[in-house]
Amino acid sequence: MQQVNSSVAYLLWCLCFFGICGGQRFYTGRIGSGLIYFFTIGFFGIGQLIDLALIPGMVDNRNLYLRGLQGTGTPNVNQSITVNIGDIPQLQQLQAIQPPNLSTASPMQKLLKAAKEHNGELSIAQAAMYTELESEHLKELLLEATKIGYAEVKNDPNTGAIRYHFDV
């Protein structure tokens, strides 16, 4: 799948000068709000102006979504890596660390407690370790956490790895 581009989104935004509003929203995958903008002339012009500042974020979110669909740029929880613990001293130390026993809590509660212990930021691997869920169930749980507003998906600025930021 092709990635979306900020320049194209801004060009589509300019169609509002010809009475066609919401093109940038359709382009970035926001069909519902695109329809609202189209029928309300950019939400009475106010929404169209606000989108000037929001377009870069909409483009970034759309590209993150598209990368997830492609399976590129997103770590795959199902991949396995074999490492001899004796070869790496740091792994010997990590071997002794066990997640706290959260067996009586729901998976979402386990996820939130883990996020709280890690200053509100979790990787996919950390979420899997604390919730003890299989990858498919973990993906559903993380998607639910983002939908209800518990978490926000961001990329690590140095590595590009996905991080879930929780407001805990």
At residue 79, does pLDDT exceed 50? no
At residue 82, does pLDDT exceed 70? no
Q: What is the pLDDT of residues 101-142, one digit of tens each?
A: 545 778 888 888 888 988 889 888 888 888 888 888 888 888
Highest mean pLDDT among 26-35, 128-137, 151-160: 26-35
What's residue 76's pLDDT? 47
- Stretch 37-61: mean pLDDT, rounded? 93
Percentage with pLDDT > 90 across the chain: 35
Domains of the chain: 6-70 (no CATH), 97-166 (1.10.10.10)
What is the pTM for the complete model shown? 0.44
What's residue 78's pLDDT? 47
Residues 6+ apart with CB under 8 A from 72: none
- Spatial separation of the C-alpha atoms in residues 45 and 15, rounded to whole Å: 12
Q: DSSP letter string over 76-108?
A: -TT------GGG-HHHHHHHH------TTS-HH
